[in-house]
Structure 1
C-alpha cells in the first residue's frame, strides 16, 4: 500500500463566497501552509487537484444544472428563473468569481483520490466533502456533491462496498438522496439534532442504507467516543467495505459558529486513526468548518494523523505565524490555545441517557 497523499489546489487561495458569508475564510490554503511549515507536506506526497470536466459531473448532476453553473460563473449573474430552479445566486450559494471552477476542482480532487486508492492507499482531500449538493440544484454552500461523485467513481472501478462515515455537524442530505436504498453504500452520519437541513432523523434509514444519529446540543468527546465504539466501528466492520470515505467536517467543535456541539478535534483525529485499519482504501475529505483557526488546526491534524507525524504541544514560530495571520469577519481574536497549539484539550462530560438510548436503538435495528 502506498503512503498517504494530500490533494490541494491554488484555486482555494483567496477564493471567498462573499465578505459576510460563513465561507469568507481561508481553509484549505491555511491547512497547506500549516502542514508545510511543520515539514509535513513535502512535494512527493502533494498532488494538485484537476478540475473535473462537465461530463464527469453528470455522473450525479444534470446537464442543465452543470451548464447553468458554468454560465453563472461566466456572467457573474443569474436570472430569477435560474435562482428558483437551481438554487444559484442565493444567500447560501451566492454568485462569486470561482463558483464553478472551485467546486469542480474539489470534485476533481475526489475523482483523483478514487484513482489514487485504486490498488489501496490513503488520501486527504480537504477541499472536498460538499455533501449537500443535489442533482439539479446547489444547497447548503455546496454547488457540487463531491462525496457522491467520488463514491460513484469508486464503485465504477469495480469496488463492491463503500462505507461513508460523516461526522459533520450537518446531516449529509445530498449523499442520502444519491444512495437511498443502496446495497453498495452504507452511510453512517452523526450530526446535530434540530439543525439545518433538518433531515437524518433517528428513524430515517434511507431505504436501509443509512444509520443516522442526531446528537443533542453540547455533544462532547465522551459521548462521541461511545458512538464511535458502539456504533460507527461495528457498523463499518459488519459491512466489510472495500473503501471508506470519511467526511471530516470541522464544524462540530465547540468554537464553530454554525453548530452547538462541543467536540475537541481529538475526536476527529481518533476517528481517522481507527477507521484506517478497517479497509484497504481510505479517503478523508473536509466539509463544514466556519471558524478559520479551528478548521485549519483540525484538518492539519487529520493529515498529521494519516501521515504519522507527531503533533507537538506547542507549535513552532512559523506555524504560529500562519495561524496569527488568519482573519475573520466576526469580531474578536482567539486565545493562545487556537494560535499556538494544534491539539485541543479533551472536552469530556457525563454521557446522557438520550445518547445511550439512540446508540442502542440503532444497534438493535441493524443487528450490530
Structure 2
C-alpha cells in the first residue's frame, strides 16, 4: 500500500503543443507542476515519471488498427481517407509532432497509477482525464482514453466495484460508453447541459450504473455542493467502491473560456477530499481547462487536498507569482487579468441560491437510482 500520495507527470507536456491556435496550446500540466514546486509542495521522493504506454497496453481498449494509425500519424504517414476514418487531423484533433507519444504517456500514466494503488493509496496524474477518446477514433481533443485504460487495469486486477466521477464541464461520454453495460463500474458525470458532445442527458435507459447531472449555465458553488452532498456522495457510498477514479477537468470555472458555468476553484479540493474518504484506492486525473492561470491554480489546490495540505493561503509566495507571471496567454481574457490570478491560489467563492432546476435534477437522479 502507498503510504503517501504520489504524483505522475512528464516533461513531454512542457514543449508539446497541439498547434498555435488550438485551445490546448497552453501550458497546463507543466505549469501546475511548476506551481506546486514553487509552493514548496513538490514531493521529490513521491514523483514518478509517466511512461509511454505500449501499443499492446493500448489494445486492452483501443482498436489495434486505430493505434497503428495514430503511430503512423506521428510519422506523417496518414492518407486523407485514413484521417477521415480515424478522426485524426480532423475536428479539433490535430496532427502534431507528439500526436502518439503525448496521449500514450497520459495513458501509460493512468495504467501505472492503477498498478500503484493495487494495494491501496492515492495517485495523482494531472495529464490524465482524456475522457472523450473512443475505441477506434479520436474525439474532443482526446486521442486515447486514459481513464478507461486505468479502470480496466483495476478490473483486471480483481479490484471492483469502481466508481468514476467526472467533474469536467463536458460530459464524460467516452468513459460512459465504455462501461455502460458493465455492472462493476458506476459512472457519474456532472456537466453543462447542451454543451458538446451534447450527450449525458438526465433521462435515459442505461441502468443504475450510469448517472448524469446536466446543469444549466451559471452553475455556481452552492449548487455544486448541493449536488455533491445530496446525491453524489450518498450514491458513491452506497456502491461501496473498491476504487474511485476522479476526473478533475476544471473548465467549469467561471474564469474558463470554454463553458458557461460559474464555479470557483474552491469546489474541486472539497469534492476530491470528500470522495477520497469513500474508498481505499484513488486515482485523481486532470481533464479540461483552457485558462492556464485558472488550471494551474485549481490543480495545485487539488494536489494540496490529495496530499493533506492547507491550500487556503490567500497570498502566493513570490516564487509562485513569478511562475504565473511568466505565462503568456493571447486570449482576450488575458488582456485585463485580475490580480488574483497571480497573487492568490484560491478564488473568492461564487455563491447563490439553489435553483429549482438543480433540485429537480437531484430528485430525478435519486428516484432513478433508488
TM-score by length of 1: 0.98
Q: Distance in 2 between matches of 1:356 and 1:220?
A: 14
- Counting only pairs closer than 5 Å after superposition, residues 98-113 of structure 1 correspond to structure 2 as 98-113=98-113
SS of 1:365's equivalent in the other structure is: helix
Deviation at 1:43, TM superposition (A): 1.1
Residues in 2 aligned to 1:363 and 1:164: alpha-carbon distance in whole angstroms: 18
Q: Return the alpha-carbon distance in structure 1 between the equivalents of residues 145 and 168 of structure 2.
A: 15
Stretches of structure 1 that go unaligned for 5 or more consecutive residues are none
How far the C-alpha of 1:329 sits from its partner, in A, is 2.8
SS at match of 1:175: helix
- Conservation of the 8 A alpha-carbon contact between 2:191 and 2:215: yes
Equivalences for residues 292-331 of structure 1 within 5 A: 292-311=292-311, 312-331=313-332
Find out whether 1:242 has 2:264 as its counterpart.
no
1: distance between equivalents of 2:209 and 2:342? 41
- Cα distance, 1:333 vs. partner? 4.5
Secondary structure at the aligned position of 2:277 is classed as helix
- Separation (CA, whole Å) in 2 of partners of 1:254 and 1:47: 32
1:14 CA displacement: 1.5
Asked if the contact 1:126/1:299 (under 8 Å) is kept, the reply is: yes
* C-alpha RMSD of the superposition: 1.0
Which residue number corresponds to residue 142 of structure 1? 142
More displaced, 201-210 or 345-354? Answer: 201-210
Quote the residue 1:127 is aligned against.
Answer: 127
Residue 69 of structure 2 aligns with which residue? 68
Structure-2-length-normalised TM-score: 0.97
Q: Contact 2:83–2:89 (CA<8 Å) still a contact in 1?
A: yes
- 3-state secondary structure, aligned to 1:188: strand
Q: Mark the CA change 1:333 to 1:233 in structure 2 (over 3 Å): closer, same or farther.
A: same
1:131·1:146 contact (CA, 8 Å) conserved in 2?
yes
Q: Following the alignment from structure 2 to structure 1, what is the Cα–Cα distance between the partners of residues 273 and 145?
A: 25
CA distances 1:70-106 after superposition (whole Å, capped 9, x unpaired): 000011x632211211000114100101110000000
Once the two structures are superposed, residues 251-290 of structure 1 have per-residue CA deviations (whole angstroms, 9 ceiling, x without a partner) of 0000111100000111111001101110000111000000
Point out the more displaced range, 329-338 or 227-236: 329-338
Alpha-carbon distance in structure 1 between the residues aligned to 2:217 and 2:346: 22
1:278 match: secondary structure: coil
What secondary structure sits across from 1:265 in the alignment? coil
- Check whether the contact 1:73–1:100 (CA below 8 A) recurs between aligned residues: yes
**Contact 2:293 2:324 (8 Å CA) reproduced:** yes
Q: Is the 8 A contact 1:20 1:329 kept in 2?
A: no
**Distance in 2, Cα, partners of 1:82 & 1:258:** 29
- In the alignment, what sits opposite 1:23? 24
Bigger drift between 192-201 and 175-184 goes to: 175-184
- Runs of 4+ aligned structure 1 residues displaced above 6 Å come to none
Segment drifting more, 340-349 vs 200-209: 200-209
Query: What is the distance in 1 between the residues matched to 2:65 and 2:354?
Result: 48
Gaps of 5+ in 2: none
Q: Provide the C-alpha distance between the structure 1 equivalents of 2:132 and 2:297, rounded to a whole number of angstroms.
A: 24
Aligned length: 366
Asked if the contact 2:249/2:289 (under 8 Å) is kept, the reply is yes
| Conserved? CA contact 1:204–1:211, under 8 Å | no
Mapped partners of 1:206, 1:107: distance in 2: 27
Q: Distance in 1 between matches of 2:29 and 2:42?
A: 13
* Rounded Cα–Cα distance in structure 2 between residues aligned with 1:361 and 1:259: 24
Instruction: Give per-residue Cα distances to partners, 1:289-313, cap 9 Å, x unaligned.
Output: 0000000000011001111222221
* Aligned-pair CA distance for 1:133: 0.3
